[in-house]
Amino acid sequence: MRAATVAIGVVLVLLCSGLVSGVVGLNVREKENLNVVIFTDSDSNHRSVSSIAIRNALNVIRVKTKYNVIERIIPLQKDSIYEAGQIVCNLVLDGVAAIFGPESSGINEIIESTTTALRLPHFQTFWNTKSTRNDDDVENDNGPGTVFNLHPNSADLSKALATLVRDNDWHSYTVIYEDDDSLIRLRECLKNRKSDDSVVTFKKLGAGPDYRSVLKQIKNSEDVHFILDCRADHVLNVLRQAKQVKLLEDYHSYILTDLDVHTLDWTEFKEIPANITAIRLIDPNSDSLKNIKKIWRVDSANIKTSTALLYDALNVFITAFRDMATKEDPIIRPLDCEGSQSSDHGTRIAELVRKPLKGSKKILPGPLTGPIHFDATGQRINFDLQIIEISKTEVGFRVTGAWNSMKPNMIQYAVTQEEREKELQKEIQQKNFRVVSKFGPPYLIRKTPPPGKSLFGNDRWEGYALDLMQEICNILNCSYTFEEVPDGKYGSYDPVKKEWNGLIGHLLNRKADLAVCDLTITYERRRAVDFTMPFMTLGISVLYAKAIKEPPELLSFAHPLSLDVWLYTATAYLVISMIIFLTARLNPNDWENPHPCNPEPEELENIWSIRNCCWLTMGSIMAQGCDLLPKGISTRMATAAWWFFSLIMTTSYTANMAAFLTMSRMGLTIEKADDLASQNKIKYGCVAGGSTCSFFKDTNFSTYHQMWVQMESADPTVFESSNADGVKRVLNSKRKYAFLMESSSIEYETERNCDLIQVGGQIDSKGYGIAMTANFQYRKAFNEAILKMQEMGLLSRLKTKWWTEMNGGGKCKEEEHSEDDAAAELSLDNVGGVFVVLAVGVAVALAFAMCEFIWMIKKIAVREHIGFKEALKSELKFVLNIWARQKQIKKNS
């Protein structure tokens, strides 16, 4: 049955080539024998397909050429190096045209060294990391080298992987490898890394078949991107165990390096959420492979890369041998490993393999692995690799791009960006995002459940973060579930434990997809996770308590002058009054004629009594003047000096009174954050471990660094665990503590607590963003949603709602307006003392008036010889008659 199948296959090939009529009459016995040696691995699990490929290829060669190819297929153990050397030396004694294989590098060194010394054509079909060739072997006295490797070399494969890692924007990843050759295969990935990228983690799988201990260690790390470098027959087992330890979840990405992973059965991995990408050299959909599949009667999934490479190697060799035979008769002579002779045909074939004749056509259909070209060292160049990934809609892989070794830094993608975005949109619509947040108004607030009822899910919460996520999901048509971070922290890195806490740690542990709250985008956090574009822009500012407006004292009008000045002024008033009285009595010009009509009066009168002198000085200092004026020079000089003193004192009091009233309204003792650094009476701090703390800790600005030193050295500590604790401390510290926090949080607090105020402007600029795991595939969609909300004004409306409308917002703005309107007014408390002075003065005057009135009544009673009551009654009657303008003086009878 198998012979019939082979015959049918040969006939089909000949029919396809159109050469049946020309070769049917050839007599096999007249053909020249051509010995070739094919080394295979004894433990190869696809030897049957390789055997079919070899037999079919040799039968076609026998039919289409004049050569009777005699193959020697020799399976060898991978570690039988000495046996391989003996076998090669025994075979070349009979004359060998070419040697193919082996399939692995274990026994290749002895074979390659022998073929190099004997100048025999040697075709390798595996990834050779232990080549014995060097620059001196490329070209010597006998011509170019005769060893060719059809397998892509390590440097090119490494460049392909490096380009794939770069295009996927992997900032950090873990290399899971099976043997040490992986480090050579991935050297370009490591070489192209940037200095600020995270360190690549390497994990060796071990002997197996149980790899779960290693995979659990990887699970505990923060990486979600992996390069899996192991044999194709081990890949599925590794991934099954990775699925068991939760390493095939959302956001996990794998790059598989083996070129045969596409031939595996991926049915059980159809529904996995992780992304699996691989590379392959064979295109199953190519015309050549489709024709070969029909001829060999095998499934294309069973055609391994090594089989295709061996087939292509036979094709390259026999085509070159044919081209050589058209110009010269090749002689395949026996060789001796111990001798000094080398083959005559090897160098010529090597030249034709590197530079085939123009118009030369391949004898066999193909090639199966794409165009075949070699460089001077015999390494394959200018080949293509297909980039494939597990399809989400059907079993198996789909082609997403192509990589060419001549353009190593570029991948030609088959899936367009628009198609990717449409796929992501469909995935988002089917996804429920786990959102973690931190409790704190107005971002996340617990709802009070109705009596007798319980709240579940998102109904337990309300706030800005919930509304923001709702608007985003309205745009993206997705769903979400909120939860509170257990430790109540934003997220900071502990260098001792080497782990993140808070929201960032929650994301890195894959317990949530997104973190939405007042989470500041910082450099350190950005290295650990990704952020969307900021949905709110803010900066650090100072929260301080308003000045407590103390009620003014009753005699506050006396505050512009000190008590000493008041006492000195009163003393000066009495002294100058006595001086004016004395100078007036000494100065003759102040003695006046009481009767101006009498030019020669018998007596002179002096009006400057002590009462009048005190009245003059009192009127002057009160800026009211007096109708009594001195006439003597000395008296006027003393009075003028007093007037000057009164002028200065009165104007000084007026000016200082205005300044005093102004200062009484100025409550703040600091105007900006820089003022805190230049004083030590007011303590200041921030949230420990937050972004504000990191800003002052890492700043290079001298003033802010000085502030950090003062905060760090303060005792007791000035750091608080949350913004709420900082606000309470500001309120309870009686203006002895200021709190540094984000301006948006300050704005929220000052809208509700009118005893608080923001001091100065912002000392930096930052933004709140939605945190997500690194390389989050939906990041662009979220950015577009936030940008759309910004353009529609939704972000502004949400802030207005939760800052100035909900939960008591906007209360303090009304009070600020009322205070501004009354800023120029003085209350009764400010001038109450003046009224008291007026009342006291009037009361004293009335008391003196009553005393004078009683004294006058007593005098009248004595003078008129009437009783005191009668005189009092008569005088009171006259006093109460307000229309009486003249008073009759009574005389004794």
CA quadruple 799, 805, 808, 810: dihedral positive or negative? Answer: positive
* Tokens, residue 178: 């099976």
Q: Which residues contact 578 (CB under 8 A, 6 or more apart)?
A: 610, 613
Closest CA to 632 of 576, 588, 575, 673: 588
Gap between the Cα atoms of 36 and 195, Å rounded? 51
Angle CA(793)–CA(798)–CA(800) in degrees, nearest 5? 95
Residue 773 annotated as lining a ligand binding site = no
In 433-472, which positions are buried (b, 16+ CB within 10 angstroms) versus exposed (e)?
bbbbbbbbbbbbbeeeeeeeeeeeebebbbbbbbbbbebb
Segments of 161-274 assigned E as strands? 174-177, 201-204, 225-229, 253-256
Give bridge partners of residue 384 from the DSSP assignment: 404
Gap between the Cα atoms of 33 and 332, Å rounded? 10
User: Residue 9: helix, strand or coil by DSSP?
Assistant: helix
Gap between the Cα atoms of 555 and 448, Å rounded? 52
Gap between the Cα atoms of 738 and 193, Å rounded? 45
Strand 479-484 to strand 432-437: parallel, antiparallel, or no bridges (unpaired)? parallel
Residue 520 annotated as lining a ligand binding site = yes
| Beta carbons of 258 and 276 less than 8 angstroms apart | no
Residue 705 burial (C-beta neighbours within 10 Å; 0-12, 13-18, 19+)? middle
Residue 692 annotated as lining a ligand binding site = yes
The kind and range of the H/E element at 550 are none
* Tokens, residue 25: 């009459």
Residue 338 annotated as lining a ligand binding site = no
Gap between the Cα atoms of 551 and 563, Å rounded? 20
The kind and range of the H/E element at 180 are none
Segments of 54-205 assigned E as strands? 67-76, 98-100, 122-124, 139-140, 143-144, 147-149, 174-177, 201-204
CA quadruple 536, 538, 543, 547: dihedral positive or negative? Answer: negative
Gap between the Cα atoms of 490 and 150, Å rounded? 55
* Tokens, residue 237: 């087992």
| Beta carbons of 504 and 529 less than 8 angstroms apart | yes
Residue 525 annotated as lining a ligand binding site = yes
Closest CA to 572 of 500, 515, 507, 649: 649
Gap between the Cα atoms of 272 and 390, Å rounded? 9
Closest CA to 281 of 415, 185, 191, 388: 388
Q: To the nearest 10°, the Cα dihedral for 722, 726, 731, 732?
A: 100
User: Residue 15: helix, strand or coil by DSSP?
Assistant: helix
Amino acid at 682: I
> What spatial distance separates the first Cα and last Cα of the chain, rounded to whole Å?
179
| Beta carbons of 338 and 297 less than 8 angstroms apart | no
Gap between the Cα atoms of 266 and 251, Å rounded? 19
State CA 96 to chain mean position distance.
65
Closest CA to 125 of 390, 304, 348: 304
Closest CA to 121 of 150, 99, 140, 89: 99
Binding-site annotation, residues: 520, 525, 691-692, 742
Binding-site annotation, residues for L-glutamate: 520, 525, 691-692, 742
